Amino acid sequence: MTKSHRVRQSEVEPYSPANHTGTRNYRLIGPETVGAKQLEVLIGEIERGKGALPHAHPGIEQVCYLLEGTAHVEVAGEKFELAPGEACFFPAGAQHLFIVTSERAKVMVIYAPPYGEDPAKTVRHG
């Protein structure tokens, strides 16, 4: 079966990621959707006061680009607020957290290589 190169969020089944609260993720680009081998792209929809608890991904870099809402971010000891149109980078193995401070938020997340929601690829902190 040939995979399409176009993916619609409305056609992707949402899931609740491990080590996150109040979050629904839609994996748009990945091995199972388009056959991507080097990266993964998803959209996360997150409720106020919820998000990613402290954790790290050894060997996986992560980018979060905020589409809607605001969030408090901590990465490798640095703390800052993120607004729409801003991005943050989580280096491989760096402890990070992402908590929504607005009513809700929508964020595009990119992993390289693909994370695939594999618990073996996460180290929890805190």
The three-state secondary structure class of 120 is helix
Identify the pLDDT of residue 123.
72
Pairwise CA distance, residues 46 & 100, whole Å: 7
Q: How far apart are CA 113 and CA 100, in angstroms?
A: 25
User: Is 125's pLDDT higher than 90?
Assistant: no
- Residue 82 contacts residue 88 (beta carbons within 8 Å): yes
The model's pTM is 0.91
Q: Stretch 4-27: mean pLDDT, rounded?
A: 94
Q: Are 87 and 63 in contact (CB under 8 A)?
A: yes
Q: Residues 67-123: pLDDT tens digits?
A: 999 999 999 999 999 999 999 999 999 999 999 999 999 999 999 999 987 666 667
**Where do the structural domains in the chain lie, given as residue ranges?**
24-124
As a 3-state breakdown, the chain gives helix, strand, coil percent values, each rounded to 5, of 5, 50, 45
CATH, range 24-124:
2.60.120.10
- Residue-wise pLDDT tens digits, 21-39: 999 999 999 999 999 999 9
What does the alpha-carbon distance between residue 113 and residue 99 come to, in Å, rounded to a whole number?
A: 24
Q: Looking at the predicted structure, is the pLDDT value of residue 18 above 70?
A: yes
